Structure 1
Amino acid sequence: MSLFSDNIRVLRVRQKISQEKLAESLQITRGRYVKYEDGTSEAPYEILKKIARYYHMSIDLLLSVDIRKIDIQHLLKLENNRLVLPIMVDHQGENYIEVVTQKVKAGYLNGYADPEYIESLQQISLPFLGPGKHRGFPVEGDSMPPHEDGSIIVGRYVERLGDVQDGKTYILITKTEGMVYKRLNKNKKNALVLESDNNFYPNYEVRLSDIIEIWEYRCNIGRTDKKQELNEIQDLKELILDVKREVNEIRKNKQ
């Protein structure tokens, strides 16, 4: 028997639902459903989606996590898409902030839906962040100054794509790019445009179908007290002022 077949049996028994009633809700015969539960047949994608929606649980969890080992109450239920996000809470019921360090970053794409993996992450508490589910992610490179390589960006989970605001920064977890921190623009129908604050790096697109998670920037945890260099910004301002003065002089001479 597969993990999936064990999971759907456990969920059905927990909710005290008969195989006949569940099959009826899925719009299939009881005989067909029984094959999924006893592991003699694999459920097609359309049936997987129906079962996931029925239990308000993600397909990832149904296929890859032993439901018997987790507390369903410690899963964050989301609206509309009916996905389930593993979360950790303290004794007062407040959400911990799990921190995805550089050391465990590579495993996040496989473990983001696994409560055991999420529980293994380092945890901190930042009460000033307010409501919402927060998580920390490492920054790489120099594409998003002033955030430096090695800093941690704490983001708030975005439940709906419609909540993404043009020009704001987000951590994206994608199938193709992995984990990235960029400024987003929704000027494409089926894709997001990712922009770096460092102009050296070109913009690029990520298809909506490739996006796994989006986390809105809330705060930065850095490791340096280095004074931010403002010389380049000041030089640019002075250059613009010089151009304006020259334009004004040209206009005066023409009058």
Structure 2
Amino acid sequence: MSAVATTAAAPSEAGVIAGELVNSFGQMVQSYEKHYRLSRGEALQRAAESPADEGERALHGPPDQVSWFDLHALTSTDPDRATARWEEVKRAALDELRTGHRAAVAVETVNDDAWQRAQFLALRAELSAEWQPRNGVERQLIDGMAQAQHGFLTWLRTLTIRTSLESVTNDRRHQDEGKWGPPRQSDADAVEQAATMMDRFNRIFLRTLRALCDMRRHSGPVIVKKGGQMNVAQQQVNVVAEPKGCPTL
């Protein structure tokens, strides 16, 4: 009896997305019932109404502001357009990830602006130029290294500021009291915290660098310090040079 070759079906997200759309509609109904004191029937009718802008915001607004309920409303009138819009949202999310902006947002504070984003992307660009990431895993490792270096520099600046302020305080004590005073415990703790965090981010950077180096080391059959040719069993073969920038382990 001959075996019949079968090909596994490609995974489909249709069921998952349908569930999200249904859940979003249910949550909107509950919101109308709770906050507007509507009956279940009135809430269902209100939630099913077409958007005031006829879906223009959901179709043409920023992708990161498209909600499940927006897609549910689009599906009710034009399922194909809703599917196309969902694909556009996913492509935008992939672009955000691959260009480093997703990684940048993760380390930004509420006061950060365009300059801070550019600073992070500059770090990432330097690392990418050196390593030339070949796939998604390596890009993620580069992002992690950029985040770690960003954290290191942020805490280094904090340490510098805190130690400088401590020095100014002691100068004033020396002038006012004629003697140097040891830092208060809270001051010492603040300085120690900054130094500890700086060291922690440096360790994260080095650990991520080692992971990237390990990937590169195991990508070729033989690793030597200098690339070139060598004879193995009377045959001349090419070998892979050890990746540049890898620490000695």
**TM-score (normalizing by structure 2):** 0.24
Which protein is richer in helix relative to its size? 2
Which protein is richer in strand relative to its size? 1
Quick check: which has more Rg, 1 or 2?
2
**TM-score (normalizing by structure 1):** 0.24
